[in-house]
Structure 1
């Protein structure tokens, strides 16, 4: 084989590899980009207990894990915190979303998703969610403070919620639909 033929072959291989490398890089960028929140459908079920989210009141949450095509949903923000804060949690999280309860209807919450890590949460209020006592979620601190004025509780940022606040042990005792 001549040097000219070898050079052409290398050039041709390089030219073919460039689009393939671009596609691979594009796929990586897509997986690392923050996903958009998914909407609750009639058949959307809770990751932990299979409850149909559309049938229950109170704030909902969803977590998008690395390598998973679809998010997992939780029928209550307490369940989201329990999943994210437990020490054995090993799955990498791409994004977590909660509903802004200043905008969503408490009894039939739909839409109004925000980045859960940027939100404000009210723990210890008199308002119950799908599994009884809940941690109400808000995109704005002023809305969380207003909620506290009406329903009681304490405003916390995402990082201030502890695993003890996300205890799931007694939730089923408060659920009248199970």
Structure 2
């Protein structure tokens, strides 16, 4: 009877261990070596919110000079490894559109995103703008328009639709 109880306890502990999620890797600070995944340009040379995707088995994250590009990457079926964390700039804590702060990151799943605002991101396309909470997003939403959505509800066309770069967009200050 004791052996059966011991086996049951070991199996229960093993099952619990599998259910405990690993903590995501910490975000990497922005620096001059951070190159945007799609264009290989330095992310610090472009204004607006940034993103980083951590992949299992990779020592450094993939950086994105524009959150729209990060969302496009995530919606693509082609990836080299399992995603372990996705971080975006918290624009509610940024000093300005051009001065985000080196370590101003929030997990994308915890952020709120303004989609459809009349603003250009770092690469000139319409941007998807992340904020830590709805209250900090409210002034931006009032000024530039758009819709506030959680990460899981960002529509595909917000990141994957063609962009008409001849239409002028604002660059927030």
Task: Please report the TM-score for the alignment, with normalisation by the length of structure 1.
Answer: 0.74
On the 8 A contact 1:100/1:113 being kept in 2, the answer is yes
On the 8 A contact 1:44/1:53 being kept in 2, the answer is yes
1:88-99 matches, within 5 Å, as 88-89=78-79, 91-99=81-89
> CA shift at 1:125, angstroms?
1.0
In the other structure, the counterpart of 2:140 is: 147
More helix by share: 1
SS in 2 for 1:159: helix
On the 8 A contact 1:79/1:168 being kept in 2, the answer is no
The partner residue of 1:103 within 93, 96, 102 is 93
In the other structure, the counterpart of 2:111 is: 119
In the other structure, the counterpart of 1:67 is: 57
SS in 1 for 2:37: coil
Question: In structure 2, do the counterparts of structure 1 residues 168 and 46 end up closer, same or farther at CA, with 3 Å as the change threshold?
Answer: farther
Tell me the alpha carbon deviations over residues 41-67 of structure 1, each in whole angstroms, 9 at most, x when there is no partner: 112110111111111100000000011
SS in 1 for 2:81: coil
CA RMSD of aligned residues (A): 2.1
The partner residue of 1:162 within 149, 155, 167 is 155
The partner residue of 2:121 within 115, 118, 129 is 129
In the other structure, the counterpart of 2:3 is: none
Q: Which runs of 5+ in 1 are unaligned?
A: 1-31
More displaced stretch, 162-171 vs 119-128: 162-171
Number of corresponding residues: 144
> CA shift at 1:145, angstroms?
2.4
Give the whole-Å Cα distance in 2 for the aligned partners of 1:63 and 1:97: 7
On the 8 A contact 2:37/2:62 being kept in 1, the answer is yes
> CA shift at 1:102, angstroms?
1.2
Give the whole-Å Cα distance in 2 for the aligned partners of 1:44 and 1:81: 18
Tell me the alpha carbon deviations over residues 114-165 of structure 1, each in whole angstroms, 9 at most, x when there is no partner: 0011110001112221122100110111112221111111101101012211
Task: Please report the TM-score for the alignment, with normalisation by the length of structure 2.
Answer: 0.76
On the 8 A contact 2:121/2:127 being kept in 1, the answer is yes
> CA shift at 1:89, angstroms?
4.1
